[in-house]
Amino acid sequence: MLTTESLKRIDREIAKYPVEQKQSAVMAALAIAQEEQGWLSSEAIEFVANYLGMAPIAAYEVASFYNMYNLKPVGKYKLTVCTNLPCMLSGGVDAGEYLKKKLGVGYNETTPDGRITLKEGECMGACGDAPVMLVNNHRMCSWMYPEQIDKLLAELE
Amino acid sequence: MLDIEIDGKQVQVPAGSTIMDAAQLIGVYIPHFCYHKKLSIAANCRMCLVQVEKAPKPLPACATPVTSGMKVFTHSELAINAQKGVMEFLLINHPLDCPICDQGGECQLQDLAVGYGGSASRYDEAKRVVFHKDIGPLVSMQEMSRCIHCTRCVRFGQEIAGVMELGMANRNMHSEIQTFVGRTVDSELSGNMIDLCPVGALTSRPFRYSARSWELSHRKSVSPHDSIGSNLTVQVKSNRVMRVLPRDNEEINECWISDKDRFSYEALNSGERLQKPMIRVDGSLREVEWNIALDYVSHALTDIARTHGGESIAALAAPSATLEELYLLQKLTRGLGSGSVDFRPRRRDFSSEGKLAGIPWLGLKLSEIKDLDAALVIGSFLRKDHPLFAQRLRQLAKQSGQVSLISVTGDDPLIRLHSRMTVSPADLTRALAAVVKAAARIKKVALPVGLESVEPCAVSQAIAESLLAGEKRAIFLGNVAEQSAQAAQLHALASLLATLTGARFGFIGEAANSVGGHVARALPTALNAYEMFAQPRQAYVLLGIEAELDCYNPHQAVAALQQAALVVMLTPFKHEAAPDYADVLLPLAPFTETSGSFVNTEGRIQSFNGVCRPLGDARPGWKVLRVLGNLLAIPGFDYTSSEQVRDEIVAPETVFVAGLDNGIGDLALSSDPASKGLQRIADVPIYFADPLVRRGAALQQTRDAAAPTARMCAATLVQAGLSDGSQVRVRQGQGEALLTAKADESVPAGCVRVAAAHVSTAALGDMFGPIDVERA
Amino acid sequence: MAILGALNPMLTVGLDGNNDRDWRLDAYVKRGGYSALKRILSKKMPQDQVINEVKKSVLRGRGGAGFPTGLKWSFMPRAFPGDKYVVCNSDEGEPGTFKDRDILLFNPHSVIEGMAIAAYAMGAARGYNYIHGEIWEVYTRFEEALDEAIAAGLLGKNILGSGFDFELFAHPGYGAYICGEETALLESIEGKKGQPRFKPPFPASFGLYGKPTTINNTETFGAVPFIMNIGGEAYLEAGLANNGGTKLFSVSGHVNRPGNYEIPLGTPFSTLLEMAGGMRGGRKLKGCIPGGSSSPVVPGATMMDCTMDYDSISKAGSMLGSGAVIVMDETTCMVKALERLSFFYYEESCGQCTPCREGTNWLYKIVHRIENGQGRPDDLDLLGSVTTNIMGRTICALGDAASMPVQSFVKHFRDEFAYHIEHKKCLVPPDVQRAGSGFFKATV
Ligand SMILES: Cc1cc2nc3c(=O)[nH]c(=O)nc-3n(C[C@H](O)[C@H](O)[C@H](O)COP(=O)(O)O)c2cc1C
Ligand code: SF4
Ligand code: FES
């Protein structure tokens, strides 16, 4: 189900917790599975659950609670724009609108070429850099004014 | 103890109590939804908010520990405002269509809304819609928009059923109770979630929309399905059982029942009910009037006794027959001059007979299980054989009790086990002997003769140690141990282990009257349940028995019945095989249509009344047997009520029967290594176990009711030249069955798990013992 | 980003936001790092003495509630036989707050050292730092810093030969604001949904895995080495009585230089505003949320008279909270601002308590319809009543956090809400609102 590389990373996470508390690694394990496969299929969630010795529905509870997990397939790049108030005051909402127009899709939609899924996000703890957006959960982009957005889009092939 | 005051009333409560506990002690009702006495505290519904002196905010009664001198106000303005506020929130997204809700009339939300709800809603946005789900044939999730997120069902799974099948997915107001991607809920205790659900979100699928709660009359009864004797409330409308619910009895079933207790009632209303006596005329069974049928039976029995001798007659009863039926059957059989009467059709080994000190029983009270420090269960499909007994052990293990298992398959009991051994049926004695030996060594006691060849392993050592630690320990023998060909050896070894360790020991018991049959003396003085078929008789009287499904060796039983001159069946059902061998079918009233008694595994006698009139011409067994006794002119059959029969068996007002004793006289111990060759492991699947569950329509659609397969571990499959999914012919002596082979690592090497009690395996022989498997 | 300015800095002393090596162990040690831990261990300083020093500093929790840290540490059972834990709360998700991210990016070892000292003082042998999911690069960097510390013998078994063991790990968040609430955070580390637990029992007696646990904010731990170095009293004196030390303020919104500023508690708001480059476009301050989105909004004029400390902000009817200062000028539509915040609390409610699950959604729907010209005359009273029914009736403070903005926005900007309802449009013209964000202007 997962590559040995991913399993190795998961094992490293498991080792952080007391032996009888493997379940503690579920968040990291789901993130790793998602990194590998782009999204969390129910097979992937069940695999992780079994790997950690927890009920599949318990792993699903986690996967559906935290909003950085993709329970449906997304584009090659998931672009999450923060529109929360501090960002909004400095252009977060405008940046979202700008992206919608450029990409021709709305929030929670994917460009027809399957490249980019646009998402609206909550505060990312980087309000001083507003407008901010995340690429595939792990790469944060700061001060995303039109010019920077254009540059980013050109880069995301 | 702490002194506190609730609504001006003084109450003394133990430290650690919550305000809710304290209020219940003095009968003050605090509204609540998520709180449940048997579940962990969630404090999420917020309905139980009360005012506490000096606390600035209202506090949840269910979760707030009392402190000395605390003053609680459950009806102050602050409290009422808080409760009303919560009620408004609960209702804004809840459909307000009680008249069309299945829960209407028995809904806690509806009840409380009357007291705490506003008259008009201030919320006029679109209401949340939650998609319905299909989680199997028993529990309906059709109306999930009604869910109030109390999470009782989720906690029930995690804490009581021992398996988390439901969870609350998502967050915020999109939180939703669901299974993992469309899975079914398969727990044998799942129906309790219906009772726990305070609203109409989880409902009974078979019952849904078949009646309104206020049309039902509530009658007390006792479950006939296992040895616990769960207390039931049976709900009846127009002489028809519509629903079965648990009746709280802390000492027995607490507030739970298993799904078979709850849903087997569908069989009572099934088209297979036998409603008129039938007699074989010219090869086929014809309906006749009672007087003709009984006349026929009494004449035929008299004839056979006269020509072939009384011993040519044998009688076999189901262990779930009532105490009164069992008693009258043995009395009748003996009156006919036969000592061949029994009530243990799935027993093989009777060599302890005559050596028993008394009536085998659990060895302690059910309510004492929670206080054990350690328990060992030998030979049991725990969860499926005894769902609520397993539940008690689950709670024990969750506290600090050490529960160990010696079993014939690696089925997951959903109990946190201290240790377990999984061995072939033939190795059960050796496994138990190893524990005995380990215990003897630890205690530095001389080793008993016969166990020389046994060597304790680490696990047997661990089990012995756990049985030697702590104050209260117990050893339990399960159904497999009683059905085993070495039942007496296992009994003797368990007894020895108990003596060595100071543990109590006993039998979990297969059925509702596994103890009661002894009390009723439905025990052979001539041929026992196995011998009466091994040595075919001229006449058989079967009470509640479907021989091809209920006997240790169905092949042999059916053959004996087929050659007999007379087979009389007292049965609630017509069934497929009966035309083959039955000469007379007498419609027997099931437990809901007769009065009677069950003696549960702890020796507690529970009498009950019929909850409705017998269907058609069915009649209570005790009445049928009484009339037969009269017709046969056997003295002492002049009963006018079942109570009179009972009073002849046990002293009036008896709660626990006398004579319970698991002692066993000297028995030579042997622990010969297991025999070679493939061995059969026959479980009795939970929904095949008795004639009622077999006909429970919804139960038959569950995963537990899947048709038997031939299950083997990979190694055994390879050895037999098979693979997962092969069609195979399994054979025992003359009998054979065509099945699908399944890989199953929980089956010990050298064994094939082939369930009993199912038509597809009814042609096979012994439940345990040699079996051949070959590609079909 | 980086820390843009500081007065009398402690946490940010010697940091240069543009230097990519400042966060490394050697740079930290050069700045005096780990000297506190080394001294404590080599002197075998009594645990009580460490806690007393923290008590004397009147360090108040920087995560939002402002609870005195030394007091919290003293709640940990001393003689408990089993495992104990210290947990750092870096799940910074409170809108407006972005200081912990910078601390971990530029000064991770201060947090590691602070946690080690805390663990020593409370007898814990294991710790976790729960890091907000969206700042993944911080998570990886923190793990690198941990590796450095382990390699230097500053973490792990028998630290610096003292016999004291402390193992520290990073735990990733993955997108749930509620996990900033300390008990939700513990549930999350246990591999569950982040649903807060009812208290009591408090984490000090029943925390992670049911064991005694102390949770502090990143900045709180980060301040500890400095307190131990300069002494509790000196730290206290850096701030005000009852408001010890310096604090990082995250300034966002309509200012010229949004960013983090470390200032002594008690510094005038106007000074902070000046440090942040003043109001964008020289416009007027309309309102300010001084302590993260959950704290009540303060009208501009009142705010200008405040000093940045717990007491002054409290007197102004709000809370210092996490020190996130959201600045709004007159281009801001207060209804739209509240609508966005209400959406946030509805979205982030964990969903377990009835009043929060249902109420936050209801609040959002009401504010949403006002913003969209469908408000009704009694909506403002309804908002008041719904918030009253939520506040103080939930397991955790998210219910309150969702209600306080609603109450304060309606209270201070009632006319603007009424205008929306009556005229079905905003007092602030749309193009003025747009201009305020500076988004398009930035390109020209
Ligand atoms: C809804 C909610 C969100 C919170 N988010 C955070 C957070 O992101 N970071 C944080 O340190 N504390 C947060 N807190 C406060 C924590 O519960 C806790 O009080 C704090 O971490 C304790 O650390 P301190 O004493 O050092 O402030 C939050 C509280 C609530 C109720
Ligand atoms: S107040 Fe909201 S977020 Fe907090 S526990 Fe309750 S439902 Fe969850
Ligand atoms: S019963 Fe107390 S909160 Fe639900």
- Over the stretch C348-394, which tens digit does the pLDDT of each residue have? 999 999 999 999 999 999 999 999 999 999 999 999 999 999 999 99
Whether residue A13 contacts residue A28, with contact meaning beta carbons closer than 8 Å, is answered with yes
Number of helices (H) and strands (E), helices first, in chain B?
A: 23, 34
What was the pLDDT predicted at C17?
A: 67
What was the pLDDT predicted at C441?
A: 72
- The alpha-carbon gap from A65 to the nearest alpha carbon of chain C, in Å, equals 6
- Cβ–Cβ gap C357/B175 under 8 Å: yes
Nearest CA to ligand 1 atom 12: C63
What was the pLDDT predicted at C344?
A: 98
- Best residue for ligand 3 mutational test, from B30, B48, B64, B89 (most atoms within 8 Å of Cβ): B48
Residue C394 Cβ inside 6 Å of ligand 2? The answer reads yes
- The answer to whether B159 faces chain A, any CB pair under 8 Å, is no
3-class DSSP state of B356: strand
- Cβ–Cβ gap A89/C437 under 8 Å: yes
State percent of chain A over pLDDT 70: 100
Stretch among B138-152, B303-317, B534-548, C240-254 having the lowest mean pLDDT: C240-254
Count of B–C CB contacts within 8 Å? Answer: 88
The continuous run of DSSP H or E covering B316 comes out as strand B313-317
Q: What is the average per-residue pLDDT within B345-356? A: 96
B 334-363 residues inside an 8 A Cβ radius of A = none
Whether residue C242 contacts residue C311, with contact meaning beta carbons closer than 8 Å, is answered with yes
- Contacts of residue A156, defined as CB under 8 A and 6 or more positions apart, other chains included, come to A76, A77, A79, A115, A116, A135
In this structure, is the dihedral angle defined by the CA atoms of residues C279, C310, C266 and C73, taken in order, positive or negative?
Answer: negative
What was the pLDDT predicted at C2?
A: 61
Ligand 1 atom nearest to CA at C397: 31
Residue A25 — very low, low, confident or very high, per pLDDT cuts 50/70/90? very high
- Best residue for ligand 2 mutational test, from C192, C348, C394 (most atoms within 8 Å of Cβ): C394
User: Chains meeting A at 3+ CB pairs closer than 8 A?
Assistant: B, C
Residues from chain B contacting residue C395 (CB–CB below 8 Å): 43-44
**Distance (Å) of CA C351 to CA A63, A116, B173:** 15, 30, 6
Residues from chain A contacting residue C436 (CB–CB below 8 Å): 89
Beta strands in C112-235 (DSSP E): 126-131, 167-172, 213-217
At A131, give phi and psi (nearest 5°). Answer: -75, 140
- Cβ–Cβ gap C101/A125 under 8 Å: yes
Q: Within 10 A of B613 (CB to CB), how many other CB atoms are there?
A: 12
Nearest CA in chain C to A122: C344
The whole-angstrom separation of Cα B710 and Cα B729 is 9
Overall pTM surpassing 0.90 (yes/no): yes
Tens digits of residue pLDDT in B567-598 = 999 999 997 767 789 999 999 999 999 999 99
Tokens of B230: 């769960």
The pLDDT of residue B164 is above 70: yes
Tens digits of residue pLDDT in B434-466 = 999 999 999 999 988 888 889 999 999 999 999
**ipTM exceeds 0.90:** yes
**Distance (Å) of CA A70 to CA A6, A34, A58, A98, B155:** 17, 7, 17, 24, 27
Nearest-ligand number for the alpha carbon of C349: 2
Whether the upstream peptide bond of residue C200 has omega within 30° of 0, thus cis, is yes
In this structure, is the dihedral angle defined by the CA atoms of residues B113, B117, B119 and B122, taken in order, positive or negative?
Answer: negative
Whether residue B1 contacts residue B15, with contact meaning beta carbons closer than 8 Å, is answered with yes
Tens digits of residue pLDDT in B35-87 = 999 999 999 999 999 999 999 999 999 999 999 999 999 999 999 999 999 99
Residues from chain C contacting residue A121 (CB–CB below 8 Å): 134
Q: Which of A57, A85, A94, A145 to mutate to test the interface with C (most CBs of C within 10 A)?
A: A85
- Best residue for ligand 1 mutational test, from C67, C75, C130, C182 (most atoms within 8 Å of Cβ): C182
DSSP state of B527: -
**CA C203 to ligand 3 centroid distance, Å:** 21
Beta strands B49-52; B710-712: pairing state: unpaired
The whole-angstrom separation of Cα B417 and Cα B414 is 9
Q: Within 10 A of A8 (CB to CB), how many other CB atoms are there?
A: 11
Beta-sheet strand order (sheet of A77-82): A109-110, A116-121, A77-82, A133-135, A139-141
Tokens of B539: 């006449």
**CA C180 to ligand 1 centroid distance, Å:** 5
Computed over every residue of chain B, the mean pLDDT equals 96
The pLDDT of residue B673 is above 70: no
Interface of A with B (CB under 8 A): 42, 45-46, 55-58, 60-61, 64-65
Computed over every residue of chain C, the mean pLDDT equals 95
The whole-angstrom separation of Cα C256 and Cα C20 is 24
Q: Give the distance, in angstroms, between the CA of residue B711 and the centroid of all CA atoms in the same chain.
A: 24
Computed over every residue of chain A, the mean pLDDT equals 97
What was the pLDDT predicted at C242?
A: 82
Q: Within 10 A of B92 (CB to CB), how many other CB atoms are there?
A: 23
Q: What is the dihedral of CA C373, C374, C377, C378, to 10 degrees?
A: -130
- Cβ–Cβ gap B181/A42 under 8 Å: yes
Tens digits of residue pLDDT in B596-614 = 999 999 999 999 999 999 9
User: Chains meeting C at 3+ CB pairs closer than 8 A?
Assistant: A, B
3-class DSSP state of B520: coil
Q: What are the 10-residue block averages of pLDDT along chain C, 444 residues in total?
A: 73 77 94 96 97 96 94 94 96 96 95 98 97 96 98 97 97 97 98 97 97 98 96 92 90 96 96 96 96 97 96 96 96 97 98 98 98 96 98 97 98 97 93 87 50
DSSP state of B157: I
- Cβ–Cβ gap B45/C355 under 8 Å: no
Q: Within 10 A of B67 (CB to CB), how many other CB atoms are there?
A: 10
